[in-house]
């Protein structure tokens, strides 16, 4: 089994899901008392979030690249960045290490295509919905991603940072998110991407009438494929 290096803390809520899910998948595949071989470098998210808000992406990339190097030095055989938004820094992080960087966008695109989705509605932070680093990865895979309208993007961003990242799951916010999905469906979306690693805390496949891909879960699947491959 290969050792996975988790670069997490963004947020701690979803990073805990990574730890739990990776161990569950390994146990499911190997049986008995098996669990995943993991190293975790978990950052303090508050300074990272402040840099995000200021648009200081070079600085966030420097910090995360340093974390990835520390994981590699400790024995990680691949880097798993436990956040969608910070894949904006994926080139800088991947370039800082000599081991594979397992990109969440690749796992997401593969899962969408396996479900027959062509026009997914991307639910995520404003950074992920409005910048090109993530959507371009999906387009390169042959997908046509959509995003909510501007006001809904702002509201969803607030739900993520002010509630989900702090462990708060609000039924009223769930209703708002489902209304965004309904608008997307009316505009032609044939699937939904839980494109922030916390969205799965708020929504599930059972809430929707179209296929959904939880990026956290498919990223973990891809990581375990690598670890056991």
- Phi and psi at residue 50, to the nearest 5°: -65, -40
Q: How far apart are CA 7 and CA 38, in angstroms?
A: 11
**pLDDT (average), residues 217-224:** 98
Handedness of CA 51, 173, 90, 122 (dihedral sign): negative
Q: How far apart are CA 219 and CA 33, in angstroms?
A: 23
Looking at 3.40.50.300, 3.40.50.1860, 3.10.20.30, 3.40.50.720, the CATH number of the domain 105-214 comes to: 3.40.50.1860
- The conformation of residue 5, written as its DSSP 8-state character, comes to E
- Do 4-103+217-228 and 105-214 have matching folds? yes
What separation in angstroms does the CA of 147 have from each of 33, 126, 129? 42, 10, 6
Q: How far apart are CA 30 and CA 25, in angstroms?
A: 9
**pLDDT (average), residues 185-189:** 97
**pLDDT (average), residues 28-32:** 97
The closest of 107, 109, 110, 119 to 144, measured between CA atoms, is: 119
- What percentage of the chain has pLDDT greater than the value 70? 100
The closest of 87, 106, 121, 110 to 194, measured between CA atoms, is: 121
- Domain range annotation of the chain: 4-103+217-228, 105-214
Active site members: 83, 196
Q: How far apart are CA 90 and CA 187, in angstroms?
A: 31
What separation in angstroms does the CA of 153 have from each of 122, 156, 159, 225? 10, 5, 10, 33
Residue whose structure tokens are 């680093």: 133
pTM of the model: 0.96
Cβ atoms within 10 Å of 227's Cβ, excluding its own: 22
List, for residues 98-119, the tens digit of each pLDDT value.
Answer: 999 999 999 999 999 999 999 9
Look over the chain and give the mean of its residue pLDDT values, rounded to a whole number: 97
Structure tokens at 156: 């969803």
- Phi and psi at residue 116, to the nearest 5°: 80, 15
- The conformation of residue 204, written as its DSSP 8-state character, comes to -
Contact 125, 160 (CB under 8 A): yes
- pLDDT score for 50: 97
Query: Tell me, which fold does domain 4-103+217-228 have in CATH?
Result: Rossmann fold (3.40.50)
């Amino acid at each position: 089994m290969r050792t996975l290096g988790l670069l997490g803390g963004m947020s701690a809520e979803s990073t805990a899901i990574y730890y739990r899910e990776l161990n569950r998948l390994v146990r499911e595949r190997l049986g008995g008392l098996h669990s995943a071989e993991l190293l975790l470098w978990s950052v303090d998210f508050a300074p990272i979030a402040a840099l995000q808000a200021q648009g200081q992406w070079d600085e966030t990339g420097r910090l995360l690249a340093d974390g990835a190097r520390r994981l590699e030095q400790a024995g990680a055989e691949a880097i798993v960045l436990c956040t969608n938004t910070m894949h904006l820094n994926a080139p800088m992080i991947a370039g800082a290490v000599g081991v594979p960087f397992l990109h969440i966008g690749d796992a997401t695109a593969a899962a969408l295509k396996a479900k027959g989705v062509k026009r997914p509605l991307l639910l995520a932070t404003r950074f992920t919905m409005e910048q090109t680093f993530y959507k371009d990865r999906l387009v390169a895979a042959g997908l046509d991603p959509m995003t909510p309208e501007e006001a809904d993007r702002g509201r969803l961003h607030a739900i993520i940072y002010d509630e989900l990242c702090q462990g708060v799951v609000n039924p009223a916010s769930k209703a708002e998110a489902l209304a965004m999905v309904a608008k997307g469906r009316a505009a032609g979306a044939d699937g939904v991407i839980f494109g922030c690693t916390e969205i799965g805390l708020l929504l599930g496949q059972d809430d929707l009438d179209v296929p959904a891909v939880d990026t956290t879960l498919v990223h973990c699947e891809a990581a375990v494929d690598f670890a056991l491959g």
